[in-house]
Structure 1
Amino acid sequence: MRKALSMLKKLSENGNLVNSYQVFTKIFENVYEGIMVTDADKNIIIVNPAFEIVTGYKFKEVVGKNPTLLQSGVHDRSFYLNMWKSLADHDIWQGEIWNRRKTGEIYPEWLTILKIKDENGNVTNYCGIFTDLSERKTVENELKKRALTDSLTDVNNRFAFLEKMNTLLLESSNTVQHAVFFLDLDRFKQVNDTLGHSIGDLLLVEVAKRIKRLLKHKDIIARYGGDEFVITLTNIHHPREAAKFAEEVIREVEQPIMINNQELFVSTSIGISIYPHDGVTTEELVNRADKAMYFSKQNGRNRFSFYFEELNTDNERLIALDTEIRKAIEHRDFELYYQPKVDSKKNKIIGVEALVRWKNEKLGFVSPGEFIPYAEETGLIIPISEIILEKACEELAVLRMAGYSNLTISINISSIHFQQQNFLESIQRILEKYNTSAQNFEIEVTERTVMNSEEETIRKLVRLKQLGFKLSIDDFGTGYSSLSYLVRFPLDYLKIDRSFIHHIVTLDDKQAVVDAIIQMAHRLKMEVIAEGVESIQQINILRDMGCDYIQGYFYSKPIPLDELIEFLQLWEYEHQGEIE
């Protein structure tokens, strides 16, 4: 290596590479990217330590040799011809390339090749600078798979099912028939409540395995919700085939399931719709199969029903929901519950996430999972979001009076609200109304929000930062999940979705993905928040990985303001004042 560095020194003295040998050497030896320099005949004269680490080749093994020793065989001759033509025309080439390590393993890298000339324009050297993309590719492939696959049961998720169904129907004529099944497990809630969610998860995995055994290659299965599955039998000849299949599923599911040496019994209620008789779109077919499933439940469970037209009249709940949600907006009837976020290293509460709750006299407690999607569909989410921010401003004043003036409140912003023309103006108006600083708040947006209209998104995010808001990407891993796009946005935090955290204690591959996400987020100068943390084992693993903040039921469920203040006071007492 010394010999090679002396060669570099001579090159630097001639002004071919850098002006300062000392500065160059420091950078060369410590930079994260691999660097290789050749002479004009493309013989390697120097490589840096990062090159040795990534390729596995030591300096002595490559000096004097041609870089073709790294070729993987993935690219054809035309790829390299185009590369060198670009280099000849523009003095630089950049792109993704697959090379081969000394071990024989092929790997992706982002490579930049520079042509270096002397003052007379003669080529003296070529310099290749590359970044190993293996880690990023592994994470992005896993995230891409997760975007289409249910992480628990390893069948399609809702998004993948809708995509596959839309493709199927697009290619189907009205002369073929498909059967759509909507399954809901009976008494599953009882299993969860009495034996715990971990047992419930194992039960779902076994049910999915049993159903998959009954399917043919072109059939589709997906986990649609908690204990709901949807199935499509393609190209059936008669509805009798759908009825026979439903009977087979019922028999399979009702067989005893052994989990931890304990026999469990569940059954399933099934609804069936037939394409094209009951609908010609995915939404129509799933919706009508769902209605038929509820009819099965109401009529004794553990049975199947075909959709019939009279089921379409059950809209009373939807009408009541629309009426009551509009009244709730008018009277500001929504409440905020708060879940603390804890610094994993200092064991200090640094902020809280505000989560909306709604209890209605007529409808009772309405789950956010029910009223928020409806509010987004109807546009009512915009006034609800504004009410949430207003209430957060009001309750921030109460927190200050209780002595907690430095806690940051994070607020989820709906994609629909974010995309409104007057979004920034409405946010500023509320802050001014309550004489509150944006520095007290963190704005959480989802992946799907920032993926829409990139230029406009960047403009709004930059403006929010200028106002003083902290910004975080929420539920990372549930959307398009491309780590590379994050660098384009001025984000402070990345929140890893709870579905990743759930399995990190038991599944090594999930643990590896979480670890890689944390490290790459840190390289992008973002801090990481893990949500949905429920056990000390998860905390210990996340802390060892360098995760910055922890949020989840292990510390506290979401609680109203008065209980939050009591919780903070107890935390201060037990942890000797450890609150931001």
Structure 2
Amino acid sequence: MNPRLSALRISFLYLIAATLWVWLSDQWLQNVLHDPASLARALELKKYGFLALTFLVLFFLLCRHFRRQDAAFAALADKEQRLSRVFEVVEDGIWDWDLETQRVYYSPGYANLIGLPLEHLSDDLLLWEQRLHPEDRARILALHQDCIQGLRTRLECVYRIRHGDGSYRWVRSRGRLTRGEDGRPLRLTGVNRDITHQRSNEDHLRQAAAVFEATQEGLLVTDARGVIVHTNPSFSRITGYSAEDVLGGEPSLLKSGRQDAAFYQHMWTALHENGVWSGEIWNRRKSGEVYPQWQHIRAVRNEEGELTHYVAVFSDLSSLKRSQHELDFLAHHDPLTGLPNRLLLRERIDQALARAEREQGGGALLSIDLDHFKHINDSLGHNIGDQLIRAVAERLESCLDERCSLARLGGDEFAVVLESQQPHHASSLAQRLLEAMSAPFEVNEQTIYMSVSLGVSLFPEDARNVDHLMQHADAALFQAKASGRNLYAFYTPELTARARSHVQVESALRHALDHDELRLYFQPVHDLATGRMVGVESLVRWQHPQKGLIAPGEFIPVAEESGLITAIDAWVLEQACRQMRQWLNAGIHLDFIAVNVSSRLFGRGGLEERVALALEQSGLEPHHLELEVTESAVMENFDQALELLCQLRLLGVHLAIDDFGTGYSSLMRLKRMPVHKLKIDQGFVAGLPDDSEDAAIACAVIALGQSMGLQVVAEGIERPDQAAFLLTHACDFGQGYWYGAPQPAEVLLAQLPRGTA
């Protein structure tokens, strides 16, 4: 009902009634009373009577109106109280977004959901928007806009929002849009529910499912009636029955008949009373073979305590039973040294091969033979020989870690099983064993020098079964002995050469670090527009005393694998800062000196302290130092990398992304990085200007850098047409052999620009 129309209608009726009353009553009185005095008194009484009557009518109408108003207010207050109580009880966060005023109402439950006091909530939309997880923000804002614009009828999404304690909580948001009569969107109202615990439970369920499928133990699940509802792959591997063979059946089909009714009665009694039973049981495979199991059965109940399922976990005890019947400690171990013997070694190799196949791993078998041990036995006697064998076993065992297993095969033969995916781990272990054996042995007050020869066979590359692996290791051992003893050899000559080269380079590189054999070379960086040299990039070289100057490609990969790259990076950083300070003091006008930071040093931690120390010790201003970090190193652990880049930026140094375009960058992440430059990898420059794909990539990187306010440097410029192409497309800087090859500081000095630093 329209209040204005109602008021107008009542007023109009009142006007008509009052007019009729005044006119008709005056006419009647004039017709009835002819005496002027009486007529005057009657008209006066009529006037006051009319006022009294209208007063009574108005009083009655107002009383009824105020009674209805009070009732309406009471009902409204009661509804508000109920709604307020509901909001206080509901744990979900309720929100109401007024699209015209852009103000948002947040319920008390919403305050609890995001961990803020209720009084800290405002009606600002930014309260919600700024707490969205950075990776979810763009997607969620787009979904809300789609709903407002009518592209979707309802809003439903899942995202992360920052809690008051700083963590992020997962929420599920559902909303509905309200429109006006003209179709204009007015309000977006919704409910947010914290599903962090639910997602955690879902993750746990997925993990449990993965364990269920991957475990080597057989798993069998039945319902409360004992009907099989689920099995895992190991069940089929152990029993020979596929899932289709047993689903819908009962576990009794696995019975061997060895246990009597009393055994099963005891098992069911334990399950009913304790909810769990464990024990050894004999079952029958699909092939008919009877075999022992160690089985663990647990009853599963729901929240009301009602039995819902039984879960049985079992492992095949066949191998263990055979071992128990066939072998004792002496059958598995060497009585002289206590080490595993050949039989146990074969079992461990078999297990290692199975693990390697299952986990896509690998390893190696090292066959070890003492050089000229027969001479010790013949000259000093078997007693001394036995003592020497024990001492050798102890020294070999001291060189091994948890990945290795040592065995004595008999006489002067030993073997080591190493589980590792890296072939150079085997060569490093072999080298370590050779070095350990070089020290003399003190046996019965006699000093004995002993050396060993080793043969190495890798799995699964060289062999996938025990016999072949041992044969190949023996063949490699024969090769080592034939080559002069006191060394090791791989089953394949190529691997032997590669492993020895790796160890030799690593050893020589350690010597180079200790004896100042590294050299720093510098490659000019030019401004493409002016042609002026604006900086240099620091590059490490190795001045080998016999081989001469060694390029980085020959020793950097070894340094990265061995961890020496961290020490090399630190040396380059320190030397580059000192050299730049010397140039500036001599009046050289360079803007920066660039230093590459390896991914190992970048991800190790403490880089900002190392840089600050190098700057302090050299006296170099931070803006003259530019650190180059590869794209892949930054993206490997972006959150940690971003924090480190910000810390380096606070030091005042400049930052560049090296090899840009060769890795996988998220533009959303790239725009957050506090870097100054992008470096186009030389692989994209080599084909310029003729290769259309290289040209497109180079132009895209330049355009991307310009749009983000970053400078772009092109590496590997070797021809003038490459430089001209890059200049035409507004690339800022370039370096490469067209401008100058890397040179020592003293050679480059004559080319450096002079001026005021």
TM superposition score normalised by structure 2: 0.37
Q: Which fold has the larger relative contact order, with Cα–Cα distance below 8 Å and residues 6 or more apart in sequence?
A: 1
TM-score (norm 1): 0.48
